[in-house]
Amino acid sequence: MSTKASAVSIGLSAAIVAVEGEMPSVLVVSHEGTHDALPFGPFDPVHHRTLEQGLRKWVGEQTRFDLGYTEQLYTFGDLGRHRSARTMKQPGHDAGTRVVSVGYLALTRRIGEAPGTQWRGWYHYFPWEDWRDNRPAMIDEVILPALQKFVRDAPNGDVAERRRERVNICFGEGWDEERVLERYELLYEAGLVEEYHRDGGQRQAPRGAVRLGTPMVFDHRRILATAIARLRGKLKYRPVVFELMAPTFTLLELQRAVEALAGLRLHKQNFRRLVNEQGLVEGTGKFCTPARGRPAELFRFRREVLRERPAPGVRLSARRTRPG
């Protein structure tokens, strides 16, 4: 019995995140004029000393953007998850090559666009993840009925029970803001996102099919879901939110940034008490004058807290408000 080795290549993708006002955004590029894409390109083992060096090169060429805070997210190797709407081939990868994608998360304070790039709110891609005003209506009106059908269509009772448990964990009582990837994967398997139909060889979802959120090329929405989940988790034990803040800010601006990333509203007084207890910020003695309301004191991040506390984050899950 003989086997034929398959070619494998490594793709590099970056979810570059910024917060402007109350909008968490991701920097995207247009791929072949079809769908949004994260900045990406193939790893060149001859010219790229490290994976991150290769990523920085591709990001610089595509966006004219110099990455700051960057961390590796995950390696994605599922067969078929790198298809695009128009072609099976990614730049730098031969047809038939198995593509392994290495995703990265990058944070920046800078909001600016190079030609061919755009900052887009990440809730365009995951509208069911924004609970700041209340529970998104689409969950009860669209998602849960479709997932209940997904459970009923299971081939046997055991599979139906496993599907039912996943639906309850992802969209039932006790919303866990960190389960972004799990929810996207469930919607994918239920055929509720365009990528499912595209990866099955269709150019687009069948007429009448449920299409949730804005699709992205290849497996980029999956990578972005992983980035959001990682960032939401790290908010609780690392002060990563300050990588997204201006050097000085008001406490309200800080709260709104945390809420935007978590997709939740927080109790104002509890949030400020927690920030003070953790020693995360210090006053500058300066004030800003808003268009309306009283002047607000400007604060800055206390970097000393990284030495003082093992996990100086914002424990937002225990202090969030209940959606209306």
Read off the pLDDT of each residue in 289-297 and give the average, rounded to a whole number: 82
The CATH classification of domain 8-124, taken from the options 3.90.79.10, 3.30.70.2190, 1.20.1440.120, 1.20.1300.10: 3.90.79.10
Q: Helix (H, G, I), strand (E, B), or coil: what is residue 240?
A: helix
Given a cut of 90, whether residue 128 has pLDDT beyond it is yes
Averaged pLDDT of the chain: 85
In the chain, where the domains are located: 8-124, 131-213, 244-318
Q: Helix (H, G, I), strand (E, B), or coil: what is residue 266?
A: strand
Given a cut of 80, whether residue 176 has pLDDT beyond it is yes
72 or 46: which carries more pLDDT confidence?
Answer: 72
Element counts in the chain: helices (H) and strands (E): 10, 9
Q: Is the CA virtual torsion 214, 220, 225, 230 positive or negative?
A: negative
CATH topology for 244-318?
Answer: Arc Repressor Mutant, subunit A (1.10.10)
pLDDT tens track for 51-102: 989 998 888 888 888 888 899 998 877 655 544 433 334 444 455 567 788 9
pLDDT tens track for 214-267: 999 988 999 999 999 999 999 988 899 999 999 999 999 999 999 999 999 999
Phi and psi at residue 48, in whole multiples of 5°? -105, 115
218 or 180: which carries more pLDDT confidence?
Answer: 180
Between CA 93 and CA 201 the distance in angstroms is 19
